[in-house]
């Protein structure tokens, strides 16, 4: 079984290298370089979760996803369990509200997401999930995304950052953990000047099919959804992190 998994991983890696044009680059060479397609692959399922309690870090995970979507064209379906998403916050990272169709799905988040992936005309489908994601359910979403060529992102919600269900195996191509970090001074050369600088996040790539995990300190998405690598923070491996 171990040899079979290794052969499958090599085949997937070779295949993904050939579709580099169907991905969204994060714009940071240190991160894009470890992703097999040079960015977030379209036509695949990805996961994003908070690297801490959602009461403190949920916004970072949401804005990370919104920043990726901001660099795509076309309508986006955002599936919610309840209507608690702050649309002006999405606009602040470049995802205009007129591009987003919000669907309040209650407990039927996964089924609505899958149906959305099979609906023509969408660029991406995002869903917010609390609780367990079975391997079968994630494979159904991955297959639907692959067939439609649509970007699929699951934002995993939990009250505890060490929730064991977040580490259970799924079919996602990448799995991210995002944590909000303290902002630097507004003026680095005058740290006593009141105000806050650009927000900072820690991005942990905990799983990457055909690629390598890693951890980076970045500047949060700007008004166009672009990230920035913090100049005084070198990238670290996931093991070191």
Is residue 125 included in any domain, yes or no?
A: yes
In terms of residue numbers, what domain contains 141? 16-159+166-185+196-229
136 is a domain residue: yes
Q: So what's the pLDDT on residue 161?
A: 66
Counting every residue, how long is the chain?
241
Could you tell me how far CA 22 lies from the centroid of its own chain? 16
| Distance between CA atoms of residues 70 and 126, nearest Å | 13
CA-to-CA distance for 63 and 68, rounded, in angstroms? Answer: 9
Residue 225 in any domain: the answer is yes
Q: Find the CATH number of the domain harbouring 94.
A: 3.40.50.300
Give the 3-state secondary structure of residue 66.
Answer: helix
Element (H, E) at 9: helix 2-17
User: In the structure encoding, which two tokens stand for residue 40, read together?
Assistant: 């977030």
Query: Looking at residue 238, what is its pLDDT?
Result: 40
Nearest to 71 by CA among 113, 46, 42: 42
What is the pTM for the complete model shown?
Answer: 0.82
Total number of domains constituting the chain: 1
pLDDT in tens, 148-198: 999 999 999 887 767 888 889 999 999 999 999 988 776 666 666 655 777
- Give domain status of residue 81, yes or no: yes
Would 148 be classed as within a structural domain? yes
In a domain, 238, yes or no: no
């Amino acid at each position: 079984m171990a040899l079979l998994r290794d052969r499958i991983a090599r085949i997937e890696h070779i295949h993904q290298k050939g579709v580099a044009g169907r991905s969204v680059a994060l714009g940071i060479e240190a991160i894009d370089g470890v992703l097999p397609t040079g960015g977030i692959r379209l036509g695949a399922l990805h996961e994003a979760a908070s690297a801490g309690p959602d009461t403190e870090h949920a916004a970072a995970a949401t804005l990370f996803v919104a920043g990726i979507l901001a660099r795509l064209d076309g309508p986006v379906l955002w599936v919610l369990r309840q209507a608690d998403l702050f649309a002006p916050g999405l606009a602040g990272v470049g995802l205009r509200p007129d591009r987003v169709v919000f669907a309040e799905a209650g407990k039927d988040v996964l089924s609505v997401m899958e149906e959305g992936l099979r609906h023509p005309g969408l660029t991406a489908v995002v869903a917010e999930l609390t609780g367990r994601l079975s391997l079968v359910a994630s494979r159904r979403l991955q297959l639907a995304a692959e067939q439609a060529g649509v970007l699929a992102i699951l934002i995993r919600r939990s009250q505890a950052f060490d929730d064991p269900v977040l580490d259970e195996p799924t079919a996602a191509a990448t799995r991210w953990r995002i944590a909000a970090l303290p902002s630097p001074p507004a003026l680095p050369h005058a740290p006593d000047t009141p105000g806050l600088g650009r927000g900072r996040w820690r991005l942990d790539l905990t799983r990457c099919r055909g690629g390598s995990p890693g951890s980076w300190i970045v500047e949060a998405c700007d008004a166009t959804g672009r990230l920035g690598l913090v100049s005084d923070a070198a990238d670290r491996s996931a093991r070191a992190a």
